[in-house]
Amino acid sequence: MRKKTVFFMLIAMCAAICLPGAAAAKNKLRYSITVTKFENRSNWRGRWDIGDAWGAVLTDSLQQTGRFIVLGENDMRKAALAEQDFAMSGRAAGGGRKVVTGQMTPAQLLVKGEIVHFSEETSETGMGIGFKNFRIGGKVGKAEIQVVMYIIDSSTGQVMASKRVTGKVAKRGLALGYTNSDFSTNLGGFRKTSAGQAISKAVDDGVKFLVEKLEEIPWTGTVILSRGSKVYINRGEREGVEKGDRFVVGESEVLRDPDTGEVLDESVEKVGVIEVVKTKKKISICKVVEGSGIAKGMTVKPVEEAS
């Protein structure tokens, strides 16, 4: 009898988990983010740009978490806009190709900061061996980096959180040096150097901090079309939305400081609840399961976040 009771309890639990209509788990939803080049406030100047190195490692690490839609760094996006403007100027050989604008994904979050300290010391014995962009010697030096990171809400420009991160490496053995300043072409090789390892340690600490802070950062979407019982939202597979997810929909109410205009709080006045029936890369098609009057432009939030 006891075994049967346990068996039926397990079936009930499985049914509760597997049945559609669950609230979207916030820890699987992704945020669009862009990395602004970190300013070098340290006194270090060397054969390569420390801001470029930090940006390359941070961008790669954010991508590996699976929690972010990582957009091009700020200078890349400016270059893309400049190319679009050039193509529309009539001076480019378009070959009949139409220039499409308005397609760039906006960032929900910005990451910026300052490199406040960096030091690198190498002490090699012997002549060493060189091959392409790598140098192998007899000793490994020391490297240390300290960085202040900021998470910024792109819609308000408000600093949502900040953290000082440190990476330090000191070991002995073979010295592996990297002599090429282009980190994007061989990021794996750079990570093996003392400087690369110190930067990677600091980045790991910073990325962990960013992921932890996501629980405190609102995840939102927008209704782009409401037609009968179908509602289309601007969040899809790319953002981690899945079939069966449920979201609260309503008018977004923003409370601002009357003196400064600063956003003090934002809430959603619930109009209804929608359930995802089909996802595409950038959008989701939903059905209304509660309420009425859902209209284009309304805000979408995970059920547990809006409650």
- Please name each of the domains of the chain with its CATH number: 31-85+103-215 (3.40.50), 219-306 (2.40.10.410)
Question: Measured between alpha carbons, how far is 243 from 20 in angstroms, rounded to an integer?
Answer: 8
> For the whole model, what pTM was predicted?
0.72
Mean pLDDT of 214-237: 92
Asked whether the predicted pLDDT for residue 21 surpasses 70, the reply is no
Tell which residue, 271, 223, 285, 274, has the closest CA to residue 247: 274
Q: Which pLDDT band, with edges at 50, 70 and 90, does 166 fall under?
A: very high
In this prediction, residue 15 carries a pLDDT of 43
Q: Which pLDDT band, with edges at 50, 70 and 90, does 120 fall under?
A: confident
Q: How far apart are the first and last CA of the chain?
A: 40
Please write the tens of the pLDDT for every residue from 28-83. Answer: 899 999 998 899 999 898 878 899 899 999 999 999 999 999 986 555 555 555 55
Q: Which pLDDT band, with edges at 50, 70 and 90, does 173 fall under?
A: low
Top-ranked range on mean pLDDT: pick from 24-28, 115-119, 126-130, 155-159: 115-119
Q: Which of the pair, 137 or 118, is modelled with greater confidence?
A: 118
In this prediction, residue 216 carries a pLDDT of 85
Asked whether the predicted pLDDT for residue 288 surpasses 50, the reply is yes
Q: Which of the pair, 186 or 211, is modelled with greater confidence?
A: 211
Beta bridge partners of 284: 233, 279
Question: Measured between alpha carbons, how far is 23 from 18 in angstroms, rounded to an integer?
Answer: 12
**Percent of all residues in the chain with a pLDDT value above 90, rounded to a whole number:** 45
In this prediction, residue 13 carries a pLDDT of 47
Q: Which of the pair, 146 or 218, is modelled with greater confidence?
A: 146
Please write the tens of the pLDDT for every residue from 237-280. Answer: 999 999 999 999 999 887 777 776 666 677 789 999 999 999 99
Arithmetic mean of pLDDT over the chain: 78
Mean pLDDT of 3-23: 49
Please write the tens of the pLDDT for every residue from 79-113. Answer: 555 555 555 555 555 555 555 544 446 788 999 99
